[in-house]
Structure 1
């Protein structure tokens, strides 16, 4: 298995409408963007260091998360706004067009980028986008999302996360939930958690993709799916989107965050996908 190396990053902050975007650039070669939502650049660092051996790798904190503060902290983070941020980062780097690997909410951001600025993108790998609008039981799931948000806003953070995991059909190993929430949390983690629930979650999962535009776009659109995500909500959304786009899901090691759990295996698979583009 590949082992993450330590490749120094050039760190910057790019002013964009309403926010200041923290971003990191590593390596040299063809440009690959690794982006999440609400996950920030730290989650992708091990994979970024591996890819940076022969690629230019861009990672960023999405607006409102960690080191990317908003002018108005109460502004919602929509897929369109995040796509606009990615477009400005790519234009700023002037190193594209890029392959964009987006995970979870970042996959939705990447799909929105294809719709709005396809000339900046060579290909998109949308890894497990949680697009509830594609599912037959979307009304029930969106109502469940509203309940999760309301529970979190009431101050019951652990209750909200239990509801989130139950709706996502994700089962943590014994003791993992208590480890996540049983002790003191960093103030920034608390702030990011609040922003995700109050200003990002509903707009991301309810986003209505323009399927005709995605099918007609010149950038290639792949739908990534974790090999260990069987039975989870994001397997359902990923399979549904792939079917509507007329493609087969592209399997990757691990589950919803396989890039963080087993970055070496994920890097090997990603390189094979990149070579086939």
Structure 2
């Protein structure tokens, strides 16, 4: 069965292919379907592709416990899955909330991470805006409010209707307590992800590719500095989901960077 029981949650995952592992970590109120355009590409490249529905999202269960959706908890889930599958170290590809989880993994457990691919990093989300959004999520209508927020803030005029429909449906399926608590790590200005972002994130000693939808969003990422094969790319007009809205452009960037970083599997 494609479920792992860990720390009170039944975590849905898929693991396909053979070779070095890639772990896919989706964003807030989404699920692993967001990587459908990348999964076939990575399988063809020779990776073992592991896609996780993080606790409370998608097909994974949603325990209601204090602190149950902090980044460290989500990172512990991901690490447990990699160890369960004997798949560490892995290239970890995270989107939005998933970039925080991936960063926690690489800082606290660097042995499980080969490299980081970070899409629209939410550890750079303005804290004032996060606080304002968080205050709207306090009622039982939190999924509906979150869906409206996504529609109002996170898309571009060119975002196709199917993406908006997709995310509205996945968001409405997330329980209210998960919507709130999974967003709380942004609202709270957690150490290392707001006021101390730059200092803590410099502890990530892994090759990284960071992809954004606009150059102005890359400021703090650039403050972190680039070493070796580290790279920052911008996909203009790609919305908060460049890997979904502009998959061809994103996939070309991804494969080129993996090749440059010496991370592509060697095919026989």
Class of the TM-score when normalised by the shorter of the 2 chains? 0.7 to 0.9
CA distance in 1, matches of 2:156, 2:148: 10
Partner of 1:86: 78
1:191 to 173, 177, 182: 173
DSSP 3-state at the match of 1:149: coil
Show the 5 A alignment for 1:1-277: 12-38=2-28, 39-53=30-44, 54-72=46-64, 76-132=68-124, 135=126, 138=127, 140-150=128-138, 153=139, 155=141, 161-163=147-149, 165-166=151-152, 168=153, 170-172=155-157, 176=161, 180=165, 189-192=171-174, 194-204=176-186, 206-209=189-192, 211-225=198-212, 229-230=213-214, 236=217, 239-247=218-226, 249-252=232-235, 254-277=238-261
CA gap 1:196/1:244 in 2 versus in 1, 3 angstroms: farther
Change (3 A) 1:31 1:142: same
SS state at 2:18 partner: coil
Stretch moving more, 210-219 or 103-112? 210-219
Extract unaligned runs of 5+ from structure 1.
1-10
* SS of 1:69 mapped into structure 2: coil
Summarize the Cα distance change of 1:192–1:21 in structure 2 as closer, same or farther, 3 Å threshold: same
Equivalent pair of 1:223/1:250 in contact (CA under 8 Å): yes
* Change over 3 Å in CA distance of 1:119–1:143 after alignment to 2: same
- Answer whether contact 1:20 1:69 (CA < 8 A) is retained: yes
Deviations 1:132-154 (A, max 9, x none): 56x5xx3x32331223324xx26
Return the TM-score normalized by structure 1: 0.75
Q: In the TM superposition, what is the alpha-carbon distance from 1:190 to its structure 2 partner?
A: 2.3
Moved over 6 A (4+): none
- In angstroms, what is the RMSD of aligned CA positions? 3.1
Task: Name the SS for the 2:2 alignment partner.
Answer: strand
| Number of positions where the alignment pairs a residue of Structure 1 with one of Structure 2 | 247
Stretches of structure 2 that go unaligned for 5 or more consecutive residues are 262-268
TM-score (norm 2): 0.78
Tell me which residue corresponds to 1:7: none
Shift of 1:88: 0.7
Corresponding residue SS for 1:68: coil
Q: 1:22 to 1:142 in 2, by over 3 A?
A: same
> Could you give the per-residue CA deviations for residues 139-184 of structure 1, whole angstroms, max 9, x where no partner exists?
x32331223324xx26386555444555x4644459949x749xxx
